[in-house]
Structure formats: C-alpha cells, structure tokens
Amino acid sequence: MTQRSRIVGVGRYVPERVLTNDDLSAFVDTSDEWIVERTGIRERRVASETETTSTLAAQAARRALASAGVDASEVDLIVTGTCTPDGMFPAVSTLVQHAIGAGDAATFDVNAACTGFLSALSTASQFIATGESRRALVIGAETMTRIMDWTDRSTCVLFGDGAGAVLLEAVPEGETGGLDGLVLHSDGSQAGLLYATGPCAPGAGPGAQILAQEAHLVMNGASVFKHAVTSMAEASLEVLHRAGLTPADLDLVVPHQANRRIITAMADRLGLAGDRAYMNLERYGNTSSATIPIALAEAVAEGRLNAGDRILLCAFGGGLTWGAMTLQWAPIAHPALALGEPAAVGSDVTAD
C-alpha cells in the first residue's frame, strides 16, 4: 500500500550581503530601471567567502525542522536539488546530514537546474510512498553568483544565492491532503539554450579542460523566456488535469522565481488573477532550485498558506527541464520559525 506525503515544515536561509541593482551598475553596463523593467528584480543575496551551498542548505534545513517541531535525529532521508554544489563530491546532502546531526539519514543530490527542487521533492515522496522513509528533508540550495560572468549584463543581473527546505512525512491514515499530482519533463535537444560551461558543456568537445573557477552560465534569454512561459503553463494544466482540478480550484501558485514577466505571462495563460501567483524575486532574483522552497517559507510566514489550501508548484530550468506539482497544504506547527529565530530586542541580528 502506497502512502501519500505532505509538507509539515518549511525553512529558508539567505546570505546577509545584499547586492542591489545600483551596486551592479557600478561595474556592469546596466541600471536599476533597465533591470526592474525587464525582470522585476531589485536586489539579490550573495554568499560570503565562508559560506557554501551546503552551509546555506544546512541553515534552511534547521529552520524547516524547527517549524515542524521535529529533531534532526528523526530524519531518515535528505535529498538536495542543486546545480552549484560545493564540489564534485561529497554530495551537499551528505554535508548537511553531518552539519545538522541527522546521523541516520540516507543522502544524495539531484541536478535538474532550476527544476531541481521539484525533482528532489518528487524523488523523496516516492521513498515515503513505498515506506522506505518516514521523514525526509528536501532542500533547494544554490550559490549561483559563483558561476556568473560579471561582464554579461543579460545574465549576471538575474541570479542570487540562497536555500530553502521542506520536511516531508507520510499522511496519517484516515487524513486527506498532501502531494496529489506531479509531472516532470525534459528536452535535451535544447540543452544549448541554457547551460554552465565546463568539461561536459554543449560544444565543449572531448578533452576540454575548463577549471571549475572558470565555469559560468550561458543563456539564450529570448528563447528561454518563450520556452519557460509555454512549458510551465502546459505542465501546470497537465498536472491539474491529473489531479482532477482546474485553475479556479487553486488558492496559491508558487512558481519558479526567474522573471516577473514570465510569471505574469504564465498566470495569464492559466487565467489566474495576479495575486494568486506568489512572487518574491524582487528581493532575491533567481536562486535556481532554491526559489520555490524559499517562496514557500516566506508565504507561510506571511500567512499566505493555510491548512487545506490547494497549491500549485511549477518550475523551468536548464536541460531543458520543467515540471509541476499540486498539493493540499498541511498545518505547520511553528510557522514563525520558517525564517529563523526572531531577533532579540535591541539586537542587530536578523532572521536571515
């Protein structure tokens, strides 16, 4: 007998350093007006020299556990979606396991670029469905600023660093809700539209040796924009049909946060009012696989997600990859902890 899984904890962590559009304009041929008009992004976060994808992920994981009221020792699986790991190996998930004290958890990463969190979430849900896992941490974490070409204003203005996490567990017998629909797609023939340079990058050729510190993101912006709008809208309609739902049944859509115009165009195709598509990209930019879990944590903290709400998640990324998921929201025990412990009175420490 298969078991449905539900999200019972959420958490996000973003670095303290803020890089505004005006900051960028000091060394890139751009302006705040140019960036905001084309993307909706006003600022993004940048990891410090002492931070890595795994340290961001561990912080988000701790907050997801705190919001659920669950100890790390009760986690038996950690899956991280990332395309900017600390290194080739060990996996980011393995480093998180050690950092948070989840000694009994199995760990591995998945890479589907910006669709990575949905891929990780769908994978972890299968472990719960078969009974192989009771509680699973699913993380999306990235340090995208470390693969930016800071002379290319068409890409470097878009991305930021951050991490988000959710805690999954089986839906108790007799209760409803949880994850109820999923679709994932990919098209490797279009890989050259969005990729990061490296030994295996499209066109690199056999024997190419590109050092990790020289890797950078390459994107055909116009083509990616068109594919993103169409693919996310079609995947959303497909998963709604599978779940026996329509766009009118949705309480909130949490899409990949890549570009305000992409989200608006996708929402228009679904016939959704603007306020039903959650957006926080103006503060963080595109954090790749971290955008959806960061948005979920903030939506919970803001009171936008309530038990029983029908939610749609959708994403698009390099590969090309795309997908969508529907779920019925479960109660979060301590929603205020999703963004971290509140700062003490008189303290300069923030929840970030």
Catalytic residue positions? 114, 256, 286
Name residues whose C-beta falls within 8 Å of residue 97's C-beta, 6 or more positions apart in sequence. Answer: 78, 103, 105, 107
- What backbone phi and psi angles, to 5 degrees, belong to 312? -120, 130
Residue 176, exposed/middle/buried by CB under 10 A (0-12, 13-18, 19+)?
exposed
What is the distance between the alpha carbons of residues 74 and 104, in angstroms, rounded to a whole number? 8
- Classified as helix, coil or strand, 98 is helix
Of 215, 192, 230, 206, the closest CA to residue 318 belongs to 192
Half-sphere exposure of 217 (CA within 13 A, CB side): 29
User: Which residues, in sequence order, are CB contacts of 77 under 8 Å at separation 6+?
Assistant: 105, 106, 107, 124, 127, 132, 133, 135, 136, 137
Q: For residues 259 and 281, is the Cβ–Cβ distance under 8 A?
A: yes
Q: DSSP assignment, residue 277?
A: B
Token reading at 2: 């298969």
107 vs 269: CA distance, rounded Å: 38
Query: Residue for token digits 């009175």?
Result: 345
Specify the DSSP element, H or E, that contains 37: helix 32-39
DSSP assignment, residue 323?
E
DSSP assignment of 78-129 equals EEEE-SS-SSSSS-HHHHHHHHHT-TT-EEEEE--GGGHHHHHHHHHHHHHH
Q: Which residue has the tokens 């472990």?
A: 127
